[in-house]
Structure 1
């Protein structure tokens, strides 16, 4: 999947108002990653809960649609981070 595919996915399924939630979740994810007491496996769960809460706020309602938008925002933020990390960060296994 390329960066353009991710943008197309976001435009197709995510409401325009919720795109700001994706950016906020990327920032929150970076902060959580730098927090030593938070395990890596917990970060996607925290981002999902945060995404739902932020989507409720942005959309102004606690609804099924806002919940789904929050989950999608968290998924896109996590996928975007992993695409970046797997594409550009050098790993010890790849150096061999």
Structure 2
């Protein structure tokens, strides 16, 4: 994960927790389907990156990377927590 973190400039490090929060809010919103959440996060990530560094290919790529890191890190936490729950259920 540390290697992936260094792909982004320091200015982007705040985008990942922001995307986590936005994704959580979207997940709790009943009229937003789960499949749409990733597209919302991707759009926000790219827009945030382009607002920081201007509208160019590099900014778009960094917005995509920031979104990928946010989703990837969320899945690491989620799957690790679910693994612990699954282990408890299997032991019962």
Question: Shared fold by TM > 0.5?
Answer: yes
The corresponding residue for 2:70 is 77
* Dislocated runs of 4+, deviation >2 Å: 89-92
* TM-score scaled by length of structure 1: 0.83
Pairs aligned (count): 88
User: What do residues 7-47 of structure 1 show as CA deviations (whole Å, max 9, x unaligned)?
Assistant: 32111x11111111112111111111111111111111111
* TM-score scaled by length of structure 2: 0.86
Where does structure 2 lack aligned partners over 5 or more consecutive residues?
none
Where does structure 1 lack aligned partners over 5 or more consecutive residues?
1-5
Q: Higher Cα Rg: structure 1 or 2?
A: 2
CA distance in 1, matches of 2:44, 2:62: 12
